[in-house]
Amino acid sequence: MDTNLEDLEAVGEISSANEVRQRISGTYDLTESLDGAVMAIENYPENRDIKHDLFVEMDRLAGPDCILCSSASGIGASEFTEDIEGRHLCVVTHPCNLPSFPRVVEISPAPWTAPEVVERCREIM
């Protein structure tokens, strides 16, 4: 992470690697990680049941406007979010370039994803 942040600073993608580093923290607690989040992106294995169970829990714990994203590459959001209460907030976001330089991200909504959620996701990405 440190090397990537320094590289991003060197090419002008961020103004201060140190400032970004100070805003990054880690936790193993899903409740803590979703507290105040505007967007959450999961990277679980490509397994429909695992993703479904995680999204049920994320939907329960996240704020009412938190966009819930999966980085799935072979499973559409419609395959694991259909029965989730906040399904209108669920999308698949799949980076197309090196993760340290995410200039292109495929945003794939489910049929029930709200259009404004797709737009907010695009703006954040």
Kindly report, residue by residue over 78-91, the tens digit of the pLDDT: 999 999 999 999 99
The per-residue pLDDT for range 21-33, each reduced to its tens digit, is 998 888 899 999 9
* pLDDT higher than threshold 90 for residue 68: yes
Mean pLDDT (the chain, rounded): 91
In angstroms, the CA 30 to CA 33 distance is 5
Please give the Cα distance from 46 to 56 (Å, whole number): 16
Please tell me the distance from the alpha carbon of residue 64 to that of residue 83, in angstroms, as a whole number: 16
Average pLDDT (47-51) is: 96
Would you state the torsion angle of the CA atoms of residues 67, 30, 61, 71, taken in this order, to the nearest 10 degrees?
A: 30
CATH 3.40.50.720 domain extents, the chain: 36-124
For residue 18, what are its two tokens?
């140190």
Average pLDDT over residues 64-93: 95
**Which of the listed CATH numbers 3.40.50.720, 3.30.70.270, 2.40.110.10, 2.60.40.60 matches domain 36-124?**
3.40.50.720
* Strand arrangement of the beta sheet that strand 105-109 belongs to: 39-42, 67-70, 90-95, 105-109
Q: How confident is the model at residue 96 (pLDDT cuts 50, 70, 90)?
A: confident
